[in-house]
């Protein structure tokens, strides 16, 4: 039986009880008519986020000045706003307006690499004698390290006669985090946004920043250690030396200390993008109370790698509960700007089941924009694809899950004003039916389901912060567990199969929500039938 910290011993902070909602700014709301979303578009939708939907925090993907070779993850200035998204004044207004509504703001921080157009790199490559030469990773001879986006991780610089390291695109040179000046400069960029009132940071490819100082070659791949999706020739090696060196933890202990300094006035947090599927290694990114704390939440991507079957999903949840330190807090992710959409991966009925799972497990959930209306992947012809990863690894492009938010049946799905430029990516074909405006009018819609689910979670401590306990003896194909806190208990029963399943549950209770949105059963639960693909939340009588 997994163990976890008893709620009575925990002083819960906002990031533990919050539901985080990721916004990809290019695709959320365009207010200028140029076909690209912007910060003012996010401001315009704050009431939707805080009141209509009911989330607690917003994570904004990069909005910094950038040549957009990797759509903002190639940062040319860490302390400004790209004019296509607005201004610093717009950002300040966004923070103020969000805080007035009780919403927290999390921004992306990209420490592993900058753009090759960043002033630091322009200086670094200007000559071997430049003071910023050692701000990036240069070598006379390349080793066998590979880029995540394909090919060698080393690019020849003709002017200075050396190679520079890029773990991703050649336009994204890796910063040298072994240089103390780099550390201080990058931590100053964190201070810049903390001073502007941000509540947290999502740290991009967090475990990449420290490499083997001897630059040793990587050995051939070991079975089971690859990413959760194909990465072409990158998967041919075991990436033991080009990321995740133990010294990485020293950096994030310093980072945590900086956040804690600012947390004296308001709690700040950091969540790290860490694609590690060995639980013991993954858990090290929490740090320790003895050596020093690191991330509040290392992103848990395990469900992205797991077959969508009840037994497999339960096994992952139980493994997490067993692996996580008693003092630490779990989290779950089912989608983001790099992954296919939930409705496409699982189908519309199972997408609701997935939402119930995500929002009732113990820990902090992160939602991706558009999942609340059941947006699906958009098949984009190769000639219209923009994602550099997809252009290098055909069939795995990320454009398909980054298409514009579908707000209404108006032109451009309400994403851009009527008469605007064509949106930067094509709309889904179903936008006239699958949109926020239409679903707000339909009490059986996916959005109506999300609204009820989020409201129930917010109103009940057992679902926000209670303990987790799986129930045994359930039919194959069902995952059933309880969340309990201070005398309140909810049973969550999820049927992963396309056939009905009969459960025998101890006690009495009432169904407070079904993924079908059509029943509020009450009474004895000894013989309880879940319909195909159905999930239910039951408030147990002893909790009333």
CB atoms within 10 A of CB 223: 6
Residues of the chain with pLDDT > 90, as a percent, come to: 90
Question: 166-206, pLDDT tens digit by residue?
Answer: 999 999 999 999 999 999 999 999 999 999 999 999 999 99
- Residue 486: its pLDDT value, please? 87
Taken in order of first residue, the domains within the chain and their CATH numbers are 7-112+180-453 (3.20.20.80), 119-165 (3.90.400.10), 467-543 (2.60.40.1180)
What does R_g of the chain's alpha carbons equal in angstroms?
23
**How far apart (Å, rounded) are the C-alpha atoms in residues 500 and 520?**
18
| Residue ranges in the chain whose pLDDT is less than 70 | 1-10, 223-230, 523, 543-544
SS3 for 175?
A: strand
CB atoms within 10 A of CB 442: 12
DSSP β-bridge partners for residue 523: 509
CA angle at residue 213 from 211 to 217, to 5 degrees?
70
- Backbone dihedral region for residue 331 (phi beyond 0: left; psi -120 to 50: alpha; all else: beta): beta
DSSP state of 57: E
- Residue 7: its pLDDT value, please? 37
> Helix axis angle, 248-262 relative to 180-195, nearest 10°?
30
Residues marked as catalytic: 204, 261
**How far apart (Å, rounded) are the C-alpha atoms in residues 365 and 465?**
12
**Which residue has 């190639």 as its token pair?**
74
- Residue 394: its pLDDT value, please? 81
- Residue 497: its pLDDT value, please? 97
- Please state the pTM of the whole predicted model: 0.96
Asked if residue 202 lies in contact with residue 107, where contact means CB atoms within 8 angstroms, the answer is yes
- Residue 543: its pLDDT value, please? 45
């Amino acid at each position: 039986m997994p163990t976890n910290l008893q709620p009575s011993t925990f002083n819960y902070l906002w990031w533990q009880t919050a539901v985080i909602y990721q916004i990809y700014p290019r695709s959320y709301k365009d207010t200028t008519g140029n076909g690209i979303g912007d910060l003012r578009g996010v401001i315009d939708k704050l009431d939707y986020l805080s009141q209509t939907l009911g989330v607690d925090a917003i994570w904004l993907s990069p909005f910094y000045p950038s040549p957009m070779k990797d759509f903002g993850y190639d940062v040319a200035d860490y302390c400004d706003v790209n004019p296509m998204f607005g201004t610093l004044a717009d950002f300040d207004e966004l923070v103020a307006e969000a805080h007035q509504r009780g919403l927290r703001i999390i921004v992306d921080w990209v420490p592993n690499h900058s753009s090759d157009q960043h002033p630091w790199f322009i200086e670094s490559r200007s000559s071997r004698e430049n003071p910023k030469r050692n701000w990036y990773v240069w070598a006379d001879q390349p080793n066998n390290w590979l880029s995540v986006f394909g090919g060698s991780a080393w690019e020849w610089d003709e002017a200075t006669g050396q190679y520079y390291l890029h773990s991703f695109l050649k336009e994204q040179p890796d910063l040298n985090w072994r240089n103390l000046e780099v550390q201080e400069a990058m931590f100053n960029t964190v201070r810049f946004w903390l001073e502007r009132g941000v509540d947290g940071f999502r740290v991009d490819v967090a475990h990449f920043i420290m490499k083997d100082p001897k630059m040793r070659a990587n050995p051939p791949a070991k079975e089971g250690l690859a990413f959760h999706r194909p990465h072409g020739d990158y998967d041919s090696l075991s990436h033991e030396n080009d990321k995740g060196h133990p010294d990485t933890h020293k950096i994030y202990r310093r980072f945590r200390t900086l956040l804690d300094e600012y947390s004296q006035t308001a709690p700040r947090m950091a969540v790290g993008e860490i694609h590690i599927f060995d639980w013991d290694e993954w858990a090290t990114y929490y740090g320790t109370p003895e050596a020093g704390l690191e991330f509040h939440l290392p992103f848990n991507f395990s469900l992205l790698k797991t077959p969508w079957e009840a037994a497999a999903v339960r096994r992952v949840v139980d493994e997490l509960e067993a692996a996580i330190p008693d003092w630490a807090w779990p989290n779950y992710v089912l989608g983001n700007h790099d992954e296919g959409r939930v409705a496409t991966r699982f189908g519309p009925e199972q997408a609701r089941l997935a939402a119930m799972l995500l929002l009732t497990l113990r820990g902090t959930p992160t939602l991706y924009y558009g999942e609340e209306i059941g947006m699906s992947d958009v098949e984009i012809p190769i000639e219209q694809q923009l994602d550099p990863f997809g252009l290098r690894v055909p069939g795995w492009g990320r454009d398909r899950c980054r298409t514009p938010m579908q707000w209404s049946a108006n032109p451009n799905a309400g994403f851009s004003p009527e008469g605007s430029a064509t949106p930067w990516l094509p709309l889904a074909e179903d936008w006239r039916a699958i949109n926020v405006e239409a679903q707000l009018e339909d009490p059986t819609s996916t959005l109506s389901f999300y609204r009820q689910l989020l409201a129930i979670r917010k109103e009940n401590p057992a679902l926000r912060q209670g303990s987790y306990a799986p129930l045994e003896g359930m039919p194959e194909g069902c995952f059933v567990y309880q969340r309990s806190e201070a005398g309140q208990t909810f049973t969550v029963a999820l049927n992963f199969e396309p056939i009905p399943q009969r459960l025998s549950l101890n006690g009495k209770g009432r169904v407070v929500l079904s993924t079908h949105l059509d029943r509020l059963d009450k009474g004895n639960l000894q013989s309880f039938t879940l319909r195909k693909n159905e999930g239910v939340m039951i408030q147990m009588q002893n909790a009333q």
